[in-house]
Structure 1
Amino acid sequence: MTLLAACSKSTSNSSSNSSSATATSSKSGSYQVTGQTNSSQYAGVIKNGKYLTSKARGVTANQNSNLMNLKSFETGLQDISKKQFSTTKYVFQEGQYLSSSTVENWLGRKSKSNPEGLNPASNGSTDPDKRNPIYLQSVEEQDYVQKSGSKLKISGVTIGLAMNSVDYYRKTTYGAQYQTNISDATLEKQGKAMAKEVLTRLRKKAALKNVPIVIAIYKQASNDSLIGGKFISYSVNNGNSISKWKALDIQNVVFPLKTGESAPNSNDADAFSNFKSEVESFFPNLSGVTAQAQYKDGSLQGMNVSITTQFYSETEIRSFTQFLADQAEKYLPSNVKIDITVSSTADGVQSFLSRSSSAKSFSTHVFGSY
C-alpha cells in the first residue's frame, strides 16, 4: 500500500535526517548522490545533473486500470529491498540493466518470433477456462549501488514480478471484455518458474554475475478492487539458482468493512467506525469517508484515509481539518503511520494530514488559492 508523503513542513514530532547531495565522477559521466530526508529512505542517483530514470519504466503486458497496483508494487518492492540492502549502506538507482525492448519481449507470449517470452504461447482457445492466460503483467527492476572510489558500483538488484490474479482479454479487437481468473496456487507456481528463468538471464550479464539478486512475486488486485495487490513471497539469491522462498503475510483491507468481511484486528475496524461517525456528524456535506489499511503478519502497518467533501469554503475546510486532527488522534490507531486526504470532485485535494508511526499529533496543510 502506498502511504502518501506529507507535503507540509514536518512538525516537531517528525524526525529529519537530511544530507546534502554528494558529487562524484566516473568514465561515463558525473554522478551525484542525493541526500536522504530520513534514514529509512534511500538516497538516489543523479547523472550529469539529471535524475537517472529507469530504462523500462511503464512497460506492461496490457493496460491495467487499477492504479493502486502500480503504486503498491513499486513501494512494496522497495520495502523488500530494505531487508537485504540497508538504506545507510546502499544508494537506490532506477533499473539500468533491463531495457524497454527486453521487458516487452519478456512480457510477451513465447513464440518462434519471441523466444524470450515468459508468458505461455497461445493455445488458440478464447474460452475463459481453457485459454492460456497472460500470467506476468509487469517487471520492475531496482538497482542498489555503493560508492567505490570515484565510481558508483552495482552491488545488488531487486526484481519484482507482478502476476495477474485476473487476466482481461478480448476475443476480437474492440469487442467485449472477458476475463480468466487465476488461482493463488497457479499464480505462485507460474511466478516461481519465471523467477528461475529471470535469474538465469540476469546472471549472463557481466555486471550482475556475482551480486545478490532479490526476486519478489506480487499478486495484482483485480481492476475493480478498491485496493492494490500484495507481495506474497521473495527470494534472496547469491548464486545461479533460486534460493529458499520466504513467504509474506500481507493483507490489504478497506474500511468500512463490507457485510461478512473481517479485519485481522477488529479493534481497528471499530476505531475507524467511531472516527467516521464523529466526522460525519461534524459536517453533513460529505460524500464519503473510507480508509485503506495494510497488515503484515496480522499487525497494522499504516492507514490511508480518504474523505470526499461537497463544500468549498476555505474557512470550512480549515475548521474541518483542525477537527479531523483532533478526532484522528483520539480515535484512530496509534503507533502506525496515518495519512488523511480531504478532497472534492470539483476542487481536487483541499487539505492533507499526516502522522508518522512515532508521532502523537498530526501535521496538517490546507491548500489555498494562492
Structure 2
Amino acid sequence: MRKKYLALVSLCAGTMLLSACGNLGSSGSGNSVTQSTQQSKKGYQTTGQVDTSDYQGVIENGRYLTSKARGVGIVQNSENMLNLKSFESGMTTLSKEEFPTKDYIFREGQLLTKGTVQDWLGRKSKDNPTGLNPEDNGEKDADKRNPIYIQQIEEQDYMKETDGKLELAGITIGIGMNRKDYYQKEQYGAMYTTNISKEKMEEEGKKAAAEVLKRVRKLDGASDVPILICMYEQAPNDSLVGGTFYAYSVSDGDTLGSWKETNLQTSVLPSTAENGAVNDNDESSFNAFKNKTQSFFPNLAGVTAQAKYKNKSLQELHVKITTQFYSETEIRSFTQFVSQMAKTYLPGDIPIDITIKGSDGEVQAFLAREKDSGNFYAHVFDD
C-alpha cells in the first residue's frame, strides 16, 4: 500500500508543477490527459500538460530532468518537511505571474549545484568565503550568538523554444529565511532556539537576495534573462503547516527591482492560539465538517487542515484525517461519507484534497476535487 501511495504522491506532491492532484476530476477514472508526452519535431521533449494552468516539464534522454540541488537546506537542518513542499509550490505559483504557462516550459534548476547551495547556506569563514550566513562568533547564548538566517535556496528554470531548441528565458530563485534558528551547544546535546525578529529576517533577506542575484548573473546563460527572487518565511519545526512567501522582486539587470508583498498566508484549521483563523467563515465551515464527521464516526484521532490564503481569500484546502479503522469495509464506508460531508460543508469554489491515514501512518484513502467541480474523486488503498 505504501508503494501505491508514494506513486500517487509523486504525481501530485512536490512542486505541483505538471499536473496537480486537484485535476483528478470527479469520477473514478479521472480526467484524460489533454496533451500526452510531446516529442518536438524540432528536437526536444516535454511532459505535456493535463491542464493549461500547469507547466510542461523538460524530458532529457527519455527521463524527467531533476533538480541538481532540491531541498538541500531543509534536508540538512530542518525537521519540518512541510516547509519544502510549501516552498516549492509557492515558487511555482509566484512564477506563473512572471512566466505564464502558455509561454514557458518548466525545467528543474540546473545552474546551482548541490555543492554550491551547501556552501552558500553555510557560515562565512576562511574555508567557506561564499557563505551567506554570518561567521560563528563563538557564543552559545541564544541572544548573543550569530544565528543562521538563510535556511534554503532553490532554483527553477523557465524555458522557451528558439530555432527548435529550448533556451533559458527566465529564472526563479527562492530564499527561505528563519524566524527561529535551532542549534545545539554541544554535539548530541539539547536543542536550543534563537528567535529572529521579522524586521531582522527581512533585512538579512534583502542582503542575501542582492548577493545571490549578483552570483547568479555570472552563471552561464543567466546574464540577461529575467530573474524572479522570492522571499520565504520558514515555519517552525513544530508547526502543522509549512511557511509562507512574504515578498518578491524581479530583476532584468544587475540590481533588484522594488519589493512587492505577496499577501499570502497559511493557516491551521481548527485554529490555535499561535495560529489564528484568517477568516471566521472558513473556520466555521471546517468545524461543521469536522464535527459532523466525528459524530458519525467516533473512531477518529484527528481532523485538521492546512488552509492557504491570498489577500485573506481562501485559495486551497488540504485536509488530513487520522482514523483507527482496520477493515476495508470501514475505510470504504468512511471515505464515501467524508466525500458527502466535504461536498456539503467545505467551500465549493477552491481545490480541496483530503488524505485519510490510519493510526499507524499508512494512507488508507485519498480524495480530491478541482476548483468549481462537483463531486470528489476518491481512491481507497487496499493491500
Which interval holds the TM-score relative to the shorter structure? over 0.9
What TM-score comes out, normalization by structure 2 length?
0.90
Matched, 1:219 2:251: no
Aligned to 1:21: 37
Paired with 1:242 and 1:196, the residues of 2 have a C-alpha distance of 7
Matched-pair contact (CA < 8 Å) for 2:25–2:373: no
Alignment of 1:178-217 (within 5 A): 178-217=192-231
Deviation at 1:368, TM superposition (A): 2.0
Corresponding residue number in structure 2 for 1:10: 25
Q: Displacement of 1:261 after TM fit?
A: 5.7
Could you say if the C-alpha distance between residues 204 and 261 of structure 1 is closer, same or farther in structure 2, counting changes exceeding 3 Å?
Answer: closer
Cα pair distance change 1:8/1:194, threshold 3 Å: closer
The CA deviation at 1:345 is 2.4
CA contact under 8 A between 1:3 and 1:304: conserved in structure 2? Answer: no
- Counterpart amino acid of 1:88? K
The residue that corresponds to 2:285 in the other structure is 271
1: distance between equivalents of 2:304 and 2:170? Answer: 39
Match of 2:221, SS? Answer: helix
Shift of 1:58: 3.1
Structure 2 distance, partners of 1:356, 1:182, is: 38
Match of 1:174 in 2: 188
The amino acid of 1:335's aligned partner reads D
Q: Which amino acid aligns with 1:341?
A: T
Q: Which residue of 2 aligns with 1:41?
A: 54
**Aligned pairs, number:** 366
Classify 1:10/1:3 alpha carbon distance in 2 versus 1 (closer, same or farther; 3 Å).
Answer: farther
SS at match of 1:60: helix
SS of residue matched to 2:21:
coil
CA distance in structure 2 between the partners assigned to 1:2 and 1:32 by the alignment: 21
Q: Does 1:341 align with 2:358?
A: no
2:65 is equivalent to residue 52 of structure 1: yes
1:52-78 CA distance string (max 9 Å, x none): 111112322742110110110011011
Deviation of 1:15 (Å): 6.4
Say whether residues 1:332 and 2:346 are aligned partners: yes
Alignment of 1:131-142 (within 5 A): 131-142=145-156
Residue type at the aligned position of 1:10: G
Q: Counterpart in 1 of 2:4? A: none
Question: Contact 1:8–1:364 at 8 Å: present in 2 too?
Answer: no
Aligned partners of 1:273 and 1:123: how far apart in 2?
48
Question: 2-side partners of 1:113 and 1:363: how far apart?
Answer: 53
Scaled by the length of structure 1, the TM-score of the pair is 0.93
Change (3 A) 1:262 1:176: closer
The answer as to 2:270 corresponding to 1:256 is yes
Q: Indicate the SS of the match to 1:236.
A: strand
Is contact 2:182-2:193 (8 Å) kept?
Answer: yes
Change over 3 Å in CA distance of 1:296–1:351 after alignment to 2: same
Say which is worse superposed, 245-254 or 342-351, in terms of deviation: 342-351
1:227-249 Cα shifts (integer Å, max 9, x gaps):
11000000011111010111111
Q: Which amino acid letter does the alignment assign opposite residue 142 of structure 2?
A: P
Residues 74, 261 of structure 1: alpha-carbon distance in 2 compared, 3 angstrom cutoff? closer
Residues 169-220 of structure 1, C-alpha deviation per residue, up to 9 Å, x if partnerless? 1111112111101111111111111110111111122411110000011000
* Structure 1 unmatched runs, 5+: none
Distance 1:107 1:259, change over 3 A: closer
Identity of matched residues, %: 51
Return the offset for 1:256: 1.3
Contact 1:339–1:354 (CA under 8 A) maintained in structure 2:
yes
Which of 116, 131, 136 is equivalent to 1:117? 131
1:24-63 CA-partner distances (Å, limit 9, x unpaired): 599xxx7411111111111111111111111112322742
Matched AA of 2:250: V
- CA-to-aligned-CA distance 1:285-343 (integer Å, 9 cap, x gap): 11111111111111001111111111111111111111111111111122011111111
Quote the Cα distance in structure 2 between the aligned partners of 1:212 and 1:41.
20
